[in-house]
A and B are shown apart, each in its own frame.
Chain A
Amino acid sequence: MIEVRQLTKRYEGRVAVDGLSFTVRGGEILGLVGPNGAGKTTTLRAIAGIHPPTGGSVAIAGFDVERQPIEARRRLALIPDEPQLFGTMTVWEHLDFTARVYGVRDWQGPAERLLAELELADRRDSLADELSKGMKQKVAVACALVHDPQALLLDEPLTGLDPRGIRTLYDALRRRAAGGAAVMLSSHLLGQIEGLCTSFLIVRQGRLLFHGTRDELRARYAEEVGAGATLEDIFFHVTEGRAPAAEPAA
């Protein structure tokens, strides 16, 4: 569903993303992890077509993000780390607006179900200004899901969510993945996403250090950090330079 080939992004001479290649298939939940400044947000924005790549290509469901931007964007959704809503629009109006932007017909039924799923049904007519940060994040998620995207990109989605909110979001993401969507999320909360993601992409300074499934990740570094190591242990081992850069496993 998401195909990234030799993606490179340079800003004024600085390389933010350096020749990344990977694929996220339908049903897969990929965790994009790396230290600050690793190029995670740039990668997600390049996949969403916001940052035109300096080199390489990105395709969403077979549509090239540069050459067929409208078709590609119709099939993806990006949820940024800081939820920004229109203060004087209600929750329901946000869904209405998003459905119109993406050209979704008969969106009311699925939207009702989304609100119930994300525990927002009783806040349907609240103005965005009246919501807490966690609620706003949930509304952003609901808006991203209303057009049933085939590729779902989430940048630090757990910021501001309480434990119940995190569980609700996880359930929603798992359901979308089970329905065939390709999900890609970046996060610093390694312990939180360890159980959610089916595969991982570890980057540092824009370069790929590891790409593979959870089992492949453990197997790859079992000898160096121990069989019972957590994702956090492996992350430090890989990103702090104690492990050699690995060839992509997938």
Chain B
Amino acid sequence: MNPGLRYLLGAGVRGVWRRARRRMRTFRGFVSTMVGTVFFLVLLGSQLMVLLVEGDAPPPHDATVQGFCFWFLLLLVPALLAADAPFFWPQEVQFLFAAPVSRRELMVYQLLSRGWVQVLSGLWFALLTMRMAYHPAAAIPAVVLATLFLYTVTQLAALLRLRIGDLLPAAAGRAVRPLLWIAGGALGFSLYRDAQAVGFGAAVGDAFDSPLMRAATLPVRPFGELFAAQTTAAAVAWTGVCAAMVAAAAGGALWMDVDFRERSLVSSARRFERMRRIRGGRGGIGAGTPKNRRLRVPAFAFLGSAAPVARRQAYELGRGLRTLWSLALPAVMAFVYVIALPSWMGPPGEDGGPLGTSLVILVVVFAMLASGGFSIDFRRDVERLAYLRSLPLRPGAVAVGEVFLAAALIGIAGLLLLAGSAAVMDWRVAPRMAALAAAIALPVAWLSVTLENWIFLLFPTRVQGDGENQSSFLGKQLIKMFFKLCVLGVVAAAAGVTAVAGGWLAGTPGAGAGAVIVIVAACWGVTLLLARAYRGFDLTVDTPTG
């Protein structure tokens, strides 16, 4: 391997420490690092405590294997479908593409420089999932190797795609995605038909154990077997198999000497630009190429001076409707976690009855997840803050205009998800809880989006280009999620107490009025905090122009 590439690998690791040290020099950086560290220790401690204290029966082997494989497949299939030419940061393109470095050396560098970040991410996931394994220790190699396999096999798929793409007619490549959509639709319909006959939970269980699903998960079964290993010998043996699979995928990527440089240059530039645009670091489906189409956008006159800012967001959304896809994944995740899995694993609804509290949880979980990735607000406009500052608008108006559309759309999507979930469960819902879930959909969405923006303006995420973002990404997401959950919990508790007090004083109308007042006050207060953070955002520090 070229000595310069070895040096760069070391510099990448050193860079993470340097950036962490530099961050500690500012008050804001110190606070965020301390919060992150405390959060990590609490999470680690709680996982260890549960492992030490919990005396539950170990999970059944086959269900654990199949469950792990199913989730792994859910991550693997989209990654393989989206596999593009290997990604290089702009600095790497500048220094390495015209340098005397062979394509194979570049690929080795790619795999190693990203590999250690994958290992860190894998350790994070392992920490979160180890409670579900028979032997918690087996979860660590299982999840780490699965994460590494996901990365290496995606690189291999990208190179294969480049090679095959050159041989196949363009129409063949274009046909793959629609065919997959049709297959997915057919599977969904078949599940729906089964659910009509035997109930949703049983239908999901049947699908999980079906020969088709077993065949689909077969290639990743060794990782499931390792995760569910019940003896040390089994764990060691499956670790060997999984490591060999990772090595084979990496070896394949190195052996296939495809000329990826030119396509990497183009796709990496496009991907980096996308990362910059959405800043929050999620990348992927959130930002497509804008379409030049004629649009009719509502005036949002009821927003007063915030209307022009909200309208601008609507124009931008209208010209990039692909952004709406970033609501699909949180919707699926919320539905699976809150409705489908409990329904499959136990009797439908609560105590075998209609869905009640689950609907409220569904709305909250969806808003919390969706607000993280659906960033048509300050996070997308961070490059334009100087312009926004030049407008004759109060900070409060800018804050409302920036978050309005995102909050409204997440709220509406939450209502649609609520209706969809009720429909899937044959409308077996508790009317009062369903009404409560519908009533809180918009305020919860507003609170989630506003808090997300508030945290962003206080601790802006910058796309740096050395992998640090990925390594700390999951941690930041967890901390944000935890913080949002705490705030929503406090607001819910305050609304509950006020409702009880109001009910005691003036019956049901008093309870309702009390809860509404608290929720509106919370939305108002968080919006004021956001406006304050916007006013205090230091453009010279947070968006340096160089």
Contacts and interface: CB of A to CB of B under 8 A. Distances in A.
A87 B466 CA distance: 8
B99 interface: yes
A84 B262 contact: no
B4 A89 contact: no
Contacts of A86: 8, 11, 15, 91, 95, 465-466
Contacts of B261: 50
A97 B100 CA distance: 13
A88 interface: yes
Interface in A1-56: 45, 48-52
Contacts of A88: 11, 14-16, 18-19, 466
A148 to B, nearest CB: 14
Contacts of A98: 4, 95
A76 B7 contact: no
Contact of A50 (B14, B16, B262): B262
Question: Do most interface residues of chain B lie in helix, strand or loop, or is the interface mixed?
Answer: helix
B59 interface: no
B209 interface: no
B101 interface: yes
A182 B521 CA distance: 70
B19 A73 contact: no
Contacts of A78: 98
Interface residues of A, number: 39
Nearest to B5: A101
A96 interface: yes
Contacts of A141: none
B259 A136 contact: no
Contacts of A87: 15, 19, 464-466
A85 B91 CA distance: 5
Contacts of B58: none
A26 B18 CA distance: 42
Interface string B75-97: 00000000000000111011111
B3 interface: yes
A73 B106 CA distance: 14
B265 interface: yes
Contacts of A84: 89-91, 93-94, 465
A137 B101 CA distance: 23
A93 B3 CA distance: 14
B98 A70 contact: no
Contact of B2 (A96, A101, A136, A140): A101
B3 A51 contact: no
B546 interface: yes
B37 interface: no
B268 to A, nearest CB: 11
30 contacts: A45-B265, A48-B97, A49-B98, A50-B261, A50-B262, A70-B102, A71-B100, A73-B98, A73-B100, A77-B98, A82-B90, A84-B90, A84-B465, A88-B11, A88-B14, A93-B11, A96-B7, A97-B8, A98-B4, A99-B4, A100-B3, A100-B6, A101-B95, A101-B99, A102-B99, A103-B3, A103-B100, A127-B22, A132-B546, A140-B94
